Structure 1
């Protein structure tokens, strides 16, 4: 059973999400009302996924993402928020979020997203994807102005990267391409190195910005 920590400043929202996820056989192992509390809950419960709101008093979602990364916590984070502002979306993804959903999703969409990011994939709400891509292509490089130039990818690496961009996990990519999962992991590691990216989401962002993905 997938284990989740829910981070949201509204008690009623947390309770509602907990109830819905339990129906879907997803185990909510902890709750927090801001980023500071979330760090303690995540450390104590070791979830498979952190379900994170962005707008919270005191310590918000971007702060939480930054702190998790600074502490070396590699647990995937799925943003669940009411805000689809471009700056927030890009800020969350650049800070390491593996997915971004709005709170108008259905339970089926939410559970699929949770299981996707838990399994190593990425998922972004379709309603904000087009705007995000335009912002990425017109803005500065997602890895910063001091980033090294990207290195060319092989055809196989480009194929793997396209599937990563569509949110598929290593296991799903391996099944689709008839490869061993370990081989896919090696391809992903090489892709990150060649793109100068710290994680899968950042690799997709830079590939889009550089025109490697269309």
Structure 2
């Protein structure tokens, strides 16, 4: 990818970690990371383009949602990041045509998977999915059933004969496909969609 990724995030540690994650995953050869809306706007000039703009909602000099509207003129894809639960914010981002709304609480693997999806032109929002749009492999369903039985990643790995890292990777994919980032929510989503069941269990 030749175009850089723009990160607008006021927390220096998270900003640095996000840039490192993006580059380590091969999502961009270069990351331009700044800490405020003013710094971001100072970078925007004719001829400057970004493959992706990742913008935090709560900036020291304004809301990210407003900046994201402007960023659409400078970036091919634009994603709003948030670290807080704000009712209706995801819907506002969707209505404004943003390409994604990603909670900062997503595990790194899930975050990378979500950004890959956005860069492919597929919007990512943590919404209620449909079963047809969220196919899970049989192994992913097995892992999710074990989660639903209250087992830890280590216990799941031992029962299924796989590594603990593989369990985490399966769960990251499951979270992306179900549009959630919590184990309990993933179980509820998958059960409601008929992807897993616990019939016959006491």
Tell me the TM-score normalised to structure 2 length: 0.55
Q: Compute the displacement of 1:75 (Å).
A: 2.0
Mapped to 1, the partners of 2:42 and 2:27 lie a distance apart of 21
Between the aligned partners of 2:48 and 2:18, the Cα distance in structure 1 is: 18
1:45-85 deviation per Cα after TM superposition (whole angstroms, max 9, x unaligned)? 5221111110112122111023235xx44521112211232
- Cα distance in 2 for partners of 1:105, 1:99 equals 13
CA–CA distance in structure 1, aligned partners of residues 78 and 66 of structure 2: 13
User: 1:65·1:95 contact (CA, 8 Å) conserved in 2?
Assistant: no
Query: Which residue number corresponds to residue 30 of structure 1?
Result: 32
- Unaligned 5+ segments in structure 2 are 135-202
Question: Do the aligned partners of 1:6 and 1:32 also contact (CA within 8 Å) in 2?
Answer: yes
Using the TM superposition, give the Cα deviation of residue 42 of structure 1 relative to its aligned residue in structure 2, in angstroms: 5.1
Q: Cα deviation per residue 1:165-205 (whole Å; 9 max; x = unaligned)?
A: x69xxxxxxxxxxxxxxxxxxxxxxxxxxxxxxxxxxxxxx
- Structure 1 segment 50-129 matched on structure 2, within 5 A: 50-69=53-72, 72-73=73-74, 75-125=76-126, 129=127
Assess, with a 3 A threshold, how the Cα gap between structure 1 residues 40 and 117 changes in structure 2: closer, same or farther: farther
In terms of fraction of residues, the more helix-rich structure is: 1
Q: In structure 1, how many angstroms separate the alpha carbons of the residues matched to 2:40 and 2:10? A: 11
Kept in 1, the 8 Å contact 2:90–2:125? The answer is no
Relative to 1, partners in 2 of residues 1:51 and 1:113: Cα closer, same or farther, differing over 3 Å? Answer: same
The runs of 5 or more residues in structure 1 that have no matched partner are: 134-161, 168-214
CA contact (8 A) 1:29 1:45 kept: no
SS at match of 1:124: coil
Q: Deviations over 1:115-145 (max 9, x none)?
A: 22222110112xxx24xx9xxxxxxxxxxxx
Specify the SS of the correspondent of 1:80: strand
The structure whose Rg is larger is 2
2:41 to 39, 42, 51: 39
Structure 1 counterpart SS, 2:69: helix
Q: Determine the structure 2 residue equivalent to 1:171.
A: none
Residues 131-146 of structure 1: pairs in structure 2 closer than 5 A: none
- Compared with structure 1, are the counterparts of its residues 74 and 18 closer, same or farther at alpha carbon in structure 2 (3 Å cutoff)? closer
